Amino acid sequence: MILEAVLVGLTRFLVGGRAYWLGAQPTSRQRIYFANHRSNADTVVLWAALPPPLRRRTRPVAAQDYWAHGRLRRLFALDVLHAVLIDRGGGRDALDPLHEALAEGCSLIIFPEGGRGPGPAPLPFKSGLYHLALAHPGAQLVPVWLDDVGRALPKGVSIPIPVSTRALIGAPIAPDPGETRDAFLTRARDAVVALGLSLHPDLPVAPPEPPHA
């Protein structure tokens, strides 16, 4: 509890991270919050933005290769954030810890891009969100736009730059009957982008072009 309070206080002091509940309200219902990913600070900013009762039952999903590397990162990931660490190269089996956490009644924070993109527009979403949605229909899927977190802690920077970040939390979505995986993932990404467009009408919405071979 003390480390949690310290981390939340530092996050609020350094980068803000205020939550704006635009299409959903903070309730105790089980949820999967899915957000754009620009910075290693994304996890902490969204987690800290939740009210304490929700924060304590919401587990961020984090890459094992980053958050388990080093004693201090592992301490914060496991003992403060109570993160679910996954192997990004583990294929479908990588989702097993997420299924277990949802079966236990926890909510999750996930970043469906699977990694940080090079620009403000999110990368195409990977299939994990779709599989979780089908396997756990009782968990609401809530889109989130994290604003300016990439400027607060850019790639390669270890000390946050004082920037006022925000978490815009939108209306829940769900797979439609008969909707294909790709159609759902596109719609989920569009829900996140729409929140970003509400702040930045000139936001590039197309996903970045894949690198040429």
Per-residue pLDDT tens over the stretch 160-177: 556 678 899 999 999 999
70 is in which domain, residue-wise?
22-199
Residue 135 in any domain: the answer is: yes
What is the number of domains present in the chain?
1
Q: Can you give the pTM of this predicted structure?
A: 0.89
pLDDT at 70 (0 to 100): 79
Residue 149 in any domain: the answer is: yes
Q: Alpha-carbon distance 131 to 95, whole Å?
A: 9
pLDDT at 114 (0 to 100): 85
pLDDT tens string 71-112 = 887 888 888 889 999 887 766 688 999 999 999 999 999 999
Classify strands 58-63 and 84-86 as parallel, antiparallel or unpaired: parallel
Which CATH number do you get for residue 145? 3.40.1130.10
Residue 11 in any domain: the answer is: no
pLDDT at 205 (0 to 100): 82
Residue 3 in any domain: the answer is: no
Which stretch of 64-68, 159-163, 176-180 has the lowest confidence by average pLDDT? 159-163
Torsion of CA 144, 208, 124, 147, to 10 degrees: -10
What is the DSSP track for 26-46? --SS-EEEEE----TTHHHHH
Q: What percent of the chain has pLDDT over 90?
A: 54
Q: Alpha-carbon distance 11 to 45, whole Å?
A: 7
Q: What is the mean pLDDT of the chain?
A: 86
In angstroms, what CA-CA distances link 67 with 82, 114, 135, 202?
Answer: 11, 14, 26, 34
Nearest to 34 by CA among 198, 205, 169: 169
Nearest to 37 by CA among 106, 112, 128: 112
Residue 17 in any domain: the answer is: no
Residue 45 in any domain: the answer is: yes
Q: Identify which has the larger pLDDT, 31 or 154.
A: 31
